[in-house]
A and B are shown apart, each in its own frame.
Chain A
Amino acid sequence: MTGLLYRLLLLLYPPAFRRRYGRQMLEDLREMRQRGDSVGWAFLDVLRTAPREWLDVAGGGSRQGLRSDWPVEHLGEVLRELRRSLRGLTRTPGYTLVVVATLGMGIGGTSAVFSWMEGLVLRPLPAVRNPSELFSIDVWARDGQDDAPVASYRNLLGLREGLATQARVVGFGYARLHVTDQGTATTDPSPDAWGAFVTSNYFSVLGVRPVLGRFFSPAERMTGQSRRSAVISDALWTRRFARDPRIVGRQVQIDGFDFQIIGVAPSDFVGTTIGLRLDVWLPVEAAPPLRGEASLLDDGSTRWLRVFGRFAPGLSLLTLDQHVKALWQRLRADDPPDARVLDATAVPLDVGVAARLKPLLSILLGITGFMLLAICSNVANLTLLRGARRDHEVAVLLALGAGRGRVAARVLSESAILAGLGVCTGVALAALGVHLLPALLPPSTIPIELRAPMDPRVLLFSAGLGLAACLAFALAPSLRAARAIPLDVLRVSRGGHRGSAIQSSSLIATQLALSLATLVAAGSFFHVLDRLARVNRGFGNPETVLLFPAEIPDEDLHAASADGAFGRLIDNLGRLPEVRSAALSSFVPLGLEGYQYRDVTVAGEGQGSGGPNRTLVSFVDDRYFDLMRIPIHEGRAIDLSDRADAQVVAVVNEAFVQAHLQGLDPLGQELTVEGRRAVVVGVAANGKYRFDQLDEPSPPFVYLAWAQWAPTSPMILVRVDSRSTTSAGAIRRTFARIFPSGVLKGPMWLDDYTSVALFPVRLGASVLSALGGLAMGLAALGLYAIMAFRVAQRTREVGVRIAIGASRVRIIGMFILQGVKTAATGLLVGLPLGLGVQKVFKAMIPAFDPGGVVVYAWAVGFLLCVTLLASGLAARRASRILPADALRAE
């Protein structure tokens, strides 16, 4: 082991040295070990002497060699050089700042994006054992109409039994819960928590281990008391219970029911849907009372569970999918009413919306990787320019008799300082960037949480790359300095490095091209964001609507419905100050939850045409259309006359008319909804309903009268005067007076609630524009540096021109033209590159829309402004050159 390590260390020496002495050095090491000498010194010795041998190679032989053992001996001198370099760097704060910032941004940005990628896409479920063995079973509507991929409890049992030998199958359903704890005196400001009803094998199939207590055991029969057990997240344990070690066994009230906490999940496990943080897990058997639907576990038509599982070792997803399909055929035969229109497929574990970020993150990764390269080249550029400018100084030093080793040391030590500072900045920025991702999230009361712990390996890699770039490019001037013959350098005028300038300007053009492409992509995202934000969602002014999801125990619901409690609640709420109106609905569009599908048949449509249509429905009261500002195009809205004992009515949307009542007068048509006949009394404007279909045409939608159907726990909507309302407390009190056993959650603003749909696009827009801006800024810095360098190179020429009467405007124009030429090259490469990036996005994200000429126009405009600014500043410097100074400078 020691020998191997030493052999690796020997790679640090120049090849010739290694070839000649490597074997002997290994022999020496062996002998040292045999004789019991301390070998640590030999290792240190390699690190101390290897640079010296390189310098010898660079110095072109051993002319200096015998006289000095630098840097073997002169550690003190090295330190002195470092101090001197530090002083030198503080004298040119601009250069120092630019290099350090550039390196820092490159290292930090790349590490942050790599970490996001790792956290969200590559290893999204860190606490879960072998996630590649997990799969979801999506239950889809056969007729192509979209449906939520959820199963009924009976579906779940069927799947679980049928797949018993191939896989272990788990079901869970999301729930918004209200957790209170009488043990703690202080009331939590936000008692709401997202949770899931899970089958008892949930944790064992995932392979997650509790940090405290236990989880539901897979074989456990959840009856009686065990139905009332709960597992909480590490976050909730911290937030609510201050990490009380005696938490296990404690009683809490969840939606008004007593539950006992039996365990705490690890901090890196917050459920299987990335982005949605779950805080509470309850057994499925607890769902019927909590959700107020007694028949939840028997009823084959209420589909509320998501299904996933872990397949047996040796099985592939493909064969599993075949099993699932075959099984579904059998289940379908046993269970005709629901199964007839549905199909089931096994897919890789659905980790939720965050998975949609994969294409975006892949591209971000590409861009940041590319940017890191650009940054390395930028640093290289700056270092080269400084090196070139330094030749003069170095030559003077050499001429005055300074050792070449020392000159090289000075140049190298400066780079080492810059690289060190850059890496430190990078680490800080990476840490910041990792925390920035959650900050980019849409404002929402839904516990969206994107966790992307910083990956030290990634950081090490980027830092190493930055360091290598810095040192490598510092070595070039340093080698040149060590070889330089003073007289040659002194004789050459300052304009001697045209070669490196041309090379640099192509580097800058590449950077400009890259940043242009990024900006074009960012522009497209803004375009999509703008378009989506302006999509007509079918309702108006969501910014002043407060949402309160209510949970009312099953047994109280019917009584409340019968004695008109809901009507009283809405009336009382409407009379509160600052409240304009209030309404009830079973569903609010564009959220993550609450989608209800019902079998709807149109009387005229023959049974042959596919039977009942699974149609999105919502149960609303008479105020709903008014409050949501949903226009009624024909007939009337649901109104007070639609009582429980009156004719069952329905209001359909235009898409429904198009799909099922084409060419008919929709008013008066009869529908069959879940076996009950309903008369269409009105046609409402189309709207957007599903958060994942914001960009698609409206699906058919049916509004049913709240009073005419078995009540469920409603969403209470309250339109208030302004965002700064203080009425939430009064609303809660009013609710509690009428429904003492109920729980009122929220509130949240309707526009926050509906913003989930915009999140991926918003993320893309903000991150890409930040990166694009950064890239452009860096390119501008680079451009400025190179223009300033050119000005410095041509000081004499400019001085002469001014002396013989060139106007300052002409001088400025001359340099700006040079800058514009570089920018034009960048433009020529960048525009097709941008087009390519857009194509990639388009292929990966269906909703993506390049946005046409406008996007290009502003990206190009921005590029030109930046170019003009950077080269203009440099040109201004040129125009201020005084002829006398210019001539004296030589």
Chain B
Amino acid sequence: MKKHTNHGDGQQSSLSRYALHVLLALERGPLHGYAIMKEVQVASGASVGPGAIYGALQRLEAAGLVREAGQGVPDRGSRPRQRYEITQAGVETLKAEARSLARLVRLAAQRHLIVDEGLGQE
């Protein structure tokens, strides 16, 4: 079981973990819901369901960081699916967030709270 840190008052400016992961997944190109979910699952190591993904997508869309990208070419036999892509603002936000996290990680490593290659994990 993962123990989550408190994202509350201290880090008001940062994106939520899922939102970041979704942005990161979309950065490589448009994806539909299921594909995003699989990407996030692999990247975060946590179990994520469709509800969490679409919740994050809805909020990212509202913030202008993600937009709908039309329906992709369906896989064999399956129906066309709605895909999502990252916007320029999304890319910028992702970069800024990543920088800030990297700073945090460096700082933590300097204080020997984590081993340096532990990037991407808490």
Do B63 and A403 touch across chains, with their CB atoms under 8 A apart? Answer: no
Contact A73 B49, beta carbon cutoff 8 Å: no
* Chain A window 276-315, contacts with chain B (Cβ cutoff 8 Å), 1 for yes, 0 for no: 0000000000000000000000000000000000000000
Known: A67-B16, A74-B4. A49 touches B52 (CB 8 A): yes
Is A65's CB under 8 angstroms from B59's CB?
yes
Structural contact, A29 and B50, CB atoms closer than 8 A = yes
Contact among B19, B54, B78, B82 for A66, CB-based, below 8 A:
B19
B7 at the interface (CB under 8 A from A): yes
Q: Is A885 part of the binding interface, using a Cβ–Cβ cutoff of 8 Å?
A: no
B86 is an interface residue with CB less than 8 A from chain A: no
- A-contact bits for B100-120, CB 8 A (1 contact / 0 none): 000000000000000000000
Q: A400: nearest residue on chain B (CB-CB)? A: B9
> CB distance B59 to A62 under 8 Å?
yes
Q: What B residues does A17 contact at CB under 8 A?
A: 54-55, 58
Q: Are B49 and A66 in contact (CB under 8 A)?
A: no
The distance from the CB of B100 to the nearest CB of chain A, in whole angstroms, is 13
Cβ-defined partner of A67 (8 Å) among B14, B33, B79: B14
| CB nearest to B8 among chain A residues | A403
Cα–Cα distance between A24 and B81 once the two chains are bound (Å):
7
Q: With the chains together, A27 CA to B82 CA distance in Å? A: 10
Contact B52 A72 (CB under 8 A): yes
Q: Which of B87-109 contact A (CB under 8 A)?
A: none
Please tell me which one of the listed residues B3, B9, B13, B33 contacts residue A25 in the complex, with CB atoms under 8 A apart.
B33
Q: Are B54 and A25 in contact (CB under 8 A)?
A: yes
Q: Does A675 contact B (CB under 8 A)?
A: no
| Contact partners of A20 in chain B: CB under 8 A | 54, 58
Q: Distance in Å from the Cβ of B32 to the closest Cβ of chain A?
A: 8
- The 0/1 profile, CB within 8 Å of B marked 1, for residues 69-89 of chain A is 100111011000000000000
Contacts of A25 in B (CB 8 A): 33, 50-51, 54
For residue A360, give the distance in angstroms from its CB to the closest CB of chain B. 50
Determine whether B121 belongs to the interface, using a CB cutoff of 8 Å to chain A.
Answer: no
> Contacts of B57 on A, CB cut-off 8 Å?
21
Given known contacts A32-B34, A66-B60, is B54 in contact with A73 (CB within 8 Å)? no
Q: Contact check: which of B32, B55, B60, B62 meets A72 at CB < 8 Å?
A: B55
| Contacting residues, chain A, for B11 (C-beta < 8 A) | 67
B62:A31 contact, CB within 8 angstroms: no
Establish whether residues B58 and A62, one from each chain, have CB atoms under 8 Å apart when the complex forms. yes
B37 touching A28 by the CB < 8 A rule? yes
Asked if A53 CB lies within 8 Å of chain B CBs, one says yes
Assuming the A-B contacts A24-B33, A27-B33, A45-B51, are A401 and B58 also in contact, with contact meaning beta carbons closer than 8 angstroms in the complex? no
A403 to chain B: closest residue by CB: B8
Contact of B49 among A42, A56, A67, A402 (CB under 8 A): A42
Query: Is B3 touching A76 in the complex (CB atoms < 8 A)?
Result: yes
A residues 75-114 in Cβ contact with B at 8 Å:
76-77
Closest Cβ of chain A: how far from B44's Cβ, in Å? 11
Closest chain B CB from A23 CB (angstroms): 9
With an 8 A cutoff between CB atoms, is A48 at the interface? yes
CA distance A484 to B86 in the complex (A): 33
Q: A62 to B65, alpha carbons, bound, how many Å?
A: 13
Best-buried of A25, A52, A61, A73 by chain B (most CB within 10 Å): A73
Q: Which of A46, A49, A73 contacts B17 (CB 8 A)?
A: A73
Contact assessment for B12 and A24 in the assembled complex, using a CB-CB cutoff below 8 Å: no
Please give, as numbers and ranges, the residues of chain B lying within 8 Å of A44 by CB-CB distance: 49
Taking a contact as CB atoms under 8 Å apart, the answer to whether B58 and A21 are in contact is: yes
Residue contact A406 to B51, C-beta cutoff 8 Å:
no
Bound CA span A307–B56, Å: 73
Please, how many angstroms separate the alpha-carbon atoms of A53 and B53 in the complex? 12
Give chain B nearest CB distance to A401 CB in angstroms: 5
Q: If A401-B9, A406-B8 touch, does A62 touch B63 (CB 8 Å cutoff)?
A: yes
Interface contact A41-B47, CB-CB below 8 Å:
yes
Q: Which residues on B sit within 8 Å (CB–CB) of A72?
A: 18, 52, 55
Enumerate chain B residues within 8 angstroms of A24, measured Cβ to Cβ: 32-33, 50, 54, 81-82
Tell me if A52 and B33 are in contact (CB < 8 A). Answer: no
Residues of A within 8 A of B17 (CB): 69, 73
Q: How far is the CB of A498 from chain B (nearest CB, A)?
A: 35
Contact B49 A77 (CB under 8 A): no
In the complex, what distance in Å separates the CA atom of A72 from the CA atom of B58? 15
Residues from chain A with a CB closer than 8 A to the CB of B4 are 73-74, 76
Chain A residues lying within 8 Å of B59, measured Cβ to Cβ, are 56, 62, 65-66
Interface check B69, CB cutoff 8 A: no
B9/A48 in contact, CB under 8 A: no
The distance from the CB of A399 to the nearest CB of chain B, in whole angstroms, is: 13
Residues of B within 8 A of A41 (CB): 47, 49
Q: Which residues of B sit under 8 angstroms from A76, Cβ to Cβ?
A: 3-4
**A401 CA / B81 CA spacing, docked (Å):** 41
Closest approach, in angstroms, between the C-beta of B58 and any C-beta of chain A? 7
Report chain B residues within 8 Å CB of A61.
Answer: 62
Assess the B33–A28 pair: CB atoms within 8 A. Answer: yes
Which residue of chain B is the closest to A45 with respect to CB atoms? Answer: B49
Given contacts A25-B51, A46-B49, A31 and B9 within 8 Å (CB-CB) = no
Q: How far is the CA of A73 from the CA of B78 in the complex (A)?
A: 32
What 0/1 readout, one digit per residue, does chain A (1-19) give for beta carbons within 8 Å of chain B? 0000000000001000100
A449 to B13, CA, bound (A): 70
A385 within 8 A of B: no
| Interface membership of A50, Cβ < 8 A | yes
Q: How far is the CB of A51 from chain B (nearest CB, A)?
A: 11
Please give, as numbers and ranges, the residues of chain B lying within 8 Å of A65 by CB-CB distance.
Answer: 58-59, 62-63
Interface residues in A683-722 (C-beta closer than 8 Å to B): none
Q: Which residues of B contact A132 (CB under 8 A)?
A: none
Chain A 380-391: CB-based contact to B (< 8 A → 1; otherwise 0) = 000000000000
The answer to whether A66 touches B15, judged by C-beta atoms less than 8 angstroms apart, is yes
- Alpha-carbon distance A42/B54, docked complex (angstroms): 12
CA distance A125 to B17 in the complex (A): 60
Question: How far, in angstroms, from A15 to B54 measured CA to CA in the complex?
Answer: 14
In chain A, positions 390-408 with a C-beta closer than 8 Å to chain B are 401-403, 406
> Are B50 and A42 touching (Cβ within 8 A)?
yes
A68 lies within 8 A of chain B by Cβ = yes
Q: In the complex the two chains form, what is the Cα distance from A77 to B4 in whole Å?
A: 10
Nearest Cβ on chain B to A40's Cβ, whole angstroms: 10
Q: Mark A461-505, 1 if CB is under 8 A from B, else 0.
A: 000000000000000000000000000000000000000000000
**A-chain residues with CB within 8 Å of residue B60 when the two chains form the complex:** 66
Q: Report B46 CB to chain A, min CB distance, Å.
A: 9
In the complex, which residues of chain B have a beta carbon less than 8 angstroms from the beta carbon of A34?
78
Tell me the minimal C-beta distance from B115 to chain A in angstroms: 24
Is the Cβ of A67 less than 8 Å from the Cβ of B7? yes
Measured between beta carbons, the chain B residues less than 8 angstroms from A50 are 51
Q: How far is the CB of B62 from chain A (nearest CB, A)?
A: 4
- Chain A nearest CB from B6 CB (Å) reads 7
Contact of B15 among A45, A53, A67, A401 (CB under 8 A): A67
Specify which chain A residues have a CB less than 8 angstroms from the CB of B49 in the assembled complex.
Answer: 41-42, 44-46, 48-49
CB neighbours (8 Å) of B32 from chain A are 24
26 A-B pairs with CB atoms under 8 Å apart are A17-B55, A21-B50, A24-B81, A27-B33, A27-B81, A28-B33, A28-B34, A28-B50, A31-B34, A31-B78, A41-B49, A42-B51, A45-B52, A53-B58, A62-B58, A62-B62, A65-B63, A66-B15, A66-B19, A67-B7, A69-B19, A69-B55, A73-B16, A73-B18, A74-B4, A74-B6
Enumerate the 7 nearest inter-chain pairs by beta-carbon distance, A residue then B residue, closest first: A45-B49, A49-B51, A65-B59, A21-B54, A69-B16, A25-B50, A45-B51
